[in-house]
């Protein structure tokens, strides 16, 4: 998106199928200069519009949608949207209640008539009038939405499912009314058929809406995590409650046991354990103490802590997660294009087929009524709701499931492409490794001071160099007390000399350390060579003029890196390390995590070239990285996967972000993509197969087949309505399985 355009998500109310979504897209795209693109998501009922604010504004976009016959709201009207959707839900429930209450007696009376009930019921002249009185409110009130929807669709130049339902039910109702008013036209009325069509489809839509509500539960759960109130601590130590969105960066807030953290920030007082599962998927609470970072929306455990706010409101990780998930759910996956192309021509084709069926049966039998029943069944059974829901509901649930396990897809395209990945290129530093050196070895030499590690840490205690910090932290991790040196002198490029408790200590490169101490013999050189061969940085330590030991520092692999690589191999994917580090260091890490292919010594601008070489070889490539230098390669890959603990620019360039920063998110993202695409394909298959199978049956293809069950030989329009409603519910329920898939 260029700097001259903006993007807005507009809630749209009143859509019923994929053709409604297309009508809204046409309304936004036609005659509105400045609209770069418009994408409507039926599952989330939103229109995502990219537009030039200099040529068109949001009120004009809203007006265009409303001219097409749908209700649209500006994005700032969140409360109004909620109120409008609740009001629409109440109207739908009232209409459904009336439909059920009146359709049940219509069906019972009709069954009594058709099955030879009591003579008065079977032949009384008032019975058809009773059926008409009961069916008319169903047709004109419960079913009124189908007429308005059909009119909107036809007026905008398309044809949606409402057209089919309105045509089918109106045909049965209109014929029955004509028979009632002009008995010479026939003797049998079909008010129960029209009432059943309207009511059963309403029931199906209600079930579908309920299921879609479950599908969007993940994003609602994330939105509900943000607490409304924060306890701000004033300089005098007193606390005051303020709305969480009014906390400013730098404010200190108190988080009590059992409360959700209201801001992103740094712990400045107290200790606790924080449950971060809602954002990272990690089930084990993370211990927090002063200096550690916490995320807004996570759950504080047993301790009271003070947190200095660094990210508030829309700048929190939680807010960014919600934005990413919403953006992904609003996009259209490439796999949906087939369904879109089919739905554009589907309804007109079905109307034509229904007309042919009517003409063929009327001409073949000489009777209008059986032909009309066949036509109505074809119109009703072919409604393309399931086709329109097949892809967006699976994307909705799949992206929501990803957010729940700490895997954020920036677009539905990234979610779709990820299932075809065959090669994963992994950056080393910060991705496979921790990104900071750590003390790995402390090797004593014969005749040296056994306390050499503590003394080396003392000598390095005043330095901010990463290697010096690694030595100090390593000594502390081994339980050794670290005190500052009495005096220290740095030798640039070689090491440091210090006095610690009256002892002379020298730490640095082995040749430099040996200059001021007797040679320890070949053992030191051999030990240093062995450690260097493992890709480690080696230092020697001399105490009081004698070389006492060797220290080795290395950037260690992350916990779980080896298991993530094994999981990738289990998915049939080749892991490859791409790093700017030297060959020895790279292969040392690669061998420990199980990677066979290593591309070492790659400068930052060459990583992108490596990605392109893999793609030219015909492979679908994912690039995993965390740094600014990885951004070009992330953008060049088929799917870029950013470590969430890394640089923001890397996350902006990537199609997938791993919130936890753990590599096990890579195979989980790919497995989730495969499960989602599998669900979409199943949905599309059943949506197409359902129509391919039932349209001929509704048209009477099995009428003379003695082997077929009676209900298939004479496929009643009411059964067509039930089957149509069931198909939509089936598609949504199949998508909902993704919320429980194990990845």
Residues 6+ apart with CB under 8 A from 620: 417, 420, 421, 422, 423, 638, 639
Q: What is the pLDDT of residue 121?
A: 55
Residue of 196, 175, 182 whose CA lies nearest to 375: 175
DSSP-assigned letters across all residues of 464-519: --HHHHHHHHHHHHTT------SEEEEETTTEEEEEETTEEEEEE-HHHHHHTS--
594: confidence class by pLDDT, cuts 50, 70, 90: very high
Could you read off the pLDDT of 456-501 as tens digits, one per residue?
A: 999 999 787 888 999 999 999 999 999 999 999 888 778 899 999 8
| Distance separating alpha carbons of residues 152 and 720, to the nearest angstrom | 24
Question: Of the ranges 16-30, 463-477, 596-610, which one carries the lowest mean pLDDT score?
Answer: 16-30
Order of strands across the sheet with 71-72? 35-41, 46-51, 6-13, 71-72
**Where, residue-wise, is CATH 3.40.1110.10 in the chain?**
438-554
Confidence of residue 39 (pLDDT cuts 50, 70, 90): confident
Which residues, in sequence order, are CB contacts of 33 under 8 Å at separation 6+? Answer: 55, 56
Average pLDDT over residues 91-99: 86
Cα(198)–Cα(219) distance, rounded to whole angstroms?
32
Which entry of 162, 251, 264, 427 is annotated as an active-site residue? 427
Q: Are strands 423-427 and 229-233 parallel, antiparallel or unpaired?
A: unpaired
DSSP 3-state of 553 = strand
537 or 363, greater pLDDT: 363
Residues of the chain with CATH 2.70.150.10: 228-315
* CATH number for the segment(s) 438-554: 3.40.1110.10
Longest dimension (CA), the chain: 124
Instruction: Select the CATH number that applies to the domain covering 6-76 from these four: 3.50.50.60, 3.30.70.100, 3.10.450.50, 3.30.70.1530.
Output: 3.30.70.100
Strands 621-625 and 597-599 turn out to be unpaired
pLDDT bin (cut points 50, 70, 90) of residue 1 is very low
CATH 3.40.50.1000 assigned to domain 410-433+558-664? The reply is: yes
Weakest mean pLDDT among 107-111, 543-547, 607-611: 107-111
427 is known as an active-site residue: yes
Question: Where is average pLDDT lowest: 151-165, 346-360, 422-436, 552-566?
Answer: 151-165
Count the Cβ atoms, other than its own, within 10 Å of residue 689: 11
Out of 40-54, 293-307, 612-626, 637-651, which region has the weakest mean confidence (pLDDT)? 637-651
**pTM assigned to the model:** 0.76
Identify the pLDDT of residue 619. 93
Which is it for the CA torsion 402, 406, 411, 416, positive or negative?
negative
Query: Whole-angstrom Cα distance, residue 156 to residue 341?
Result: 17
Stretch(es) of the chain classified as CATH 3.40.50.1000: 410-433+558-664
pLDDT in tens, 363-379: 988 888 888 989 988 88
Q: What is the CATH number of domain 228-315?
A: 2.70.150.10
Question: pLDDT band for position 304 (50/70/90)?
Answer: very high
Instruction: Find which of 150-159, 535-544, 699-708 is predicted with most confidence, using mean pLDDT.
Output: 535-544
Contact indicator for 607, 629 with CB cutoff of 8 Å: yes
Q: Could you tell me which residues come within 8 angstroms of residue 473 by beta carbon, excluding any fewer than 6 positions away?
A: 438, 439
pLDDT reading at 119 higher than 50: no
pLDDT beyond 70 at 77: no
Give, in degrees to the nearest 5, the angle at Cα 217 between 215 and 220.
140
pLDDT for the residue numbered 464: 77
Cβ contact 540:509 at 8 Å: yes
Of the chain, the end-to-end C-alpha distance in Å amounts to 33
From-to residues of CATH 3.30.70.100 in the chain: 6-76
């Amino acid at each position: 998106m260029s700097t001259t355009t903006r993007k807005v998500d507009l809630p749209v109310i009143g859509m019923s199928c994929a053709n409604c979504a297309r009508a809204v897209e046409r309304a936004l795209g036609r005659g509105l200069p400045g609209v770069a693109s418009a994408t409507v998501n039926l599952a989330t009922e939103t229109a995502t519009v990219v537009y030039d604010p200099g040529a068109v504004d949001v009120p004009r976009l809203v007006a265009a949608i409303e001219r097409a016959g749908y209700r649209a709201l500006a994005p700032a009207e969140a409360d109004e949207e909620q109120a409008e959707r609740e009001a629409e839900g109440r109207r739908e429930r009232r209409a459904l209640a009336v439909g059920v209450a009146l359709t049940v007696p219509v069906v019972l009376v009709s069954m009594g008539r058709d099955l030879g009930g009591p003579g008065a019921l079977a032949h009384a002249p008032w019975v058809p009038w009773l059926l008409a009185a009961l069916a008319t409110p169903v047709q004109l009130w419960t079913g009124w939405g189908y007429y308005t929807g059909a009119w909107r669709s036809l007026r905008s130049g398309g044809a949606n499912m409402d057209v089919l339902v309105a045509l089918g039910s109106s045909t049965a109702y209109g014929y029955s009314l004509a028979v009632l008013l002009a008995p010479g036209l026939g003797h049998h009325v079909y008010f129960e058929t029209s009432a059943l069509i309207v009511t059963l489809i309403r029931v199906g839509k209600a079930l579908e809406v309920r299921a879609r509500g479950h599908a969007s539960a993940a994003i609602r759960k994330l939105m509900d995590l943000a607490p409304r109130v924060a306890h701000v601590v004033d300089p005098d130590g007193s606390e005051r409650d303020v709305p969480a969105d009014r906390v400013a960066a730098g404010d200190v807030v108190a988080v009590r046991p059992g409360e959700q953290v209201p801001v992103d920030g740094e712990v400045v007082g107290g200790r606790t354990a924080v449950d971060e599962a809602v954002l990272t998927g990690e089930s084990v609470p993370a211990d927090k103490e002063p200096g550690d970072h916490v995320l807004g929306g996570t759950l504080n455990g047993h301790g009271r802590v003070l947190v200095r706010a660094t990210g508030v409101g829309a700048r929190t990780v939680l807010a960014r997660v919600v934005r990413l998930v919403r953006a992904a759910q609003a996009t259209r996956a490439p796999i949906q294009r087939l369904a879109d192309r089919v739905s554009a021509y589907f309804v007109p084709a079905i109307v034509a087929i229904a007309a042919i069926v009517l003409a063929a049966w009327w001409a073949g039998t000489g009777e209008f009524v059986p032909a009309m029943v066949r036509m109505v069944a074809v119109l009703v059974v072919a409604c393309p709701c399931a086709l329109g829901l097949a892809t967006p509901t699976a994307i909705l649930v799949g992206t929501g499931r990803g957010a729940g396990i700490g895997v954020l897809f920036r677009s539905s395209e990234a979610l779709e492409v990820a299932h075809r990945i065959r090669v994963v290129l992994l950056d080393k530093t910060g991705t496979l490794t921790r990104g900071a050196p750590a003390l790995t070895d402390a090797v004593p030499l014969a005749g040296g001071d056994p306390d050499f590690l503590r003394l080396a840490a003392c000598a390095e205690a005043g330095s901010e160099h990463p290697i010096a910090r690694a030595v100090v932290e390593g000594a502390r991790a081994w339980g050794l007390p670290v005190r500052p040196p009495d005096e220290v002198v740095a030798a640039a490029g070689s090491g440091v000399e210090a006095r610690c408790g009256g002892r002379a200590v020298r730490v640095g490169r082995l040749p430099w350390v040996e200059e001021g101490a007797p040679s320890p013999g070949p053992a030191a050189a051999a030990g240093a060579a062995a450690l260097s061969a493992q890709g480690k940085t080696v230092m020697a330590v001399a105490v009081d003029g004698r070389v006492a030991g060797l220290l080795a520092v290395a950037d260690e692999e992350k916990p779980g890196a080896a298991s993530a690589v094994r999981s990738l191999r289990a998915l049939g994917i080749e892991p490859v390390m791409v790093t700017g580090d030297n060959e020895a260091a790279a292969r040392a890490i690669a061998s420990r995590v199980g990677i066979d292919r290593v591309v070492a010594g790659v400068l930052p601008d060459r990583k992108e070239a490596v990605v392109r070489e893999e793609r030219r070889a015909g492979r679908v490539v994912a690039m995993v990285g965390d740094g600014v230098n990885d951004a070009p390669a992330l953008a060049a890959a088929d799917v870029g996967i950013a470590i969430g603990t890394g640089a923001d620019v890397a996350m902006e360039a990537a199609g997938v972000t791993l919130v936890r920063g753990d590599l096990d998110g890579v195979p989980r993202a790919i497995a989730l993509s495969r499960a989602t695409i599998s669900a979409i394909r199943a949905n599309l298959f059943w949506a197409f197969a359902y129509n391919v199978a039932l349209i001929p049956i509704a048209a009477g293809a099995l009428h003379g087949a003695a082997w077929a069950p009676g209900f298939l030989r004479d496929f009643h329009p009411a059964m067509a309505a039930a089957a149509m409603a069931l198909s939509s519910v089936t598609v949504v329920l199949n998508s909902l399985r993704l919320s429980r898939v194990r990845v």
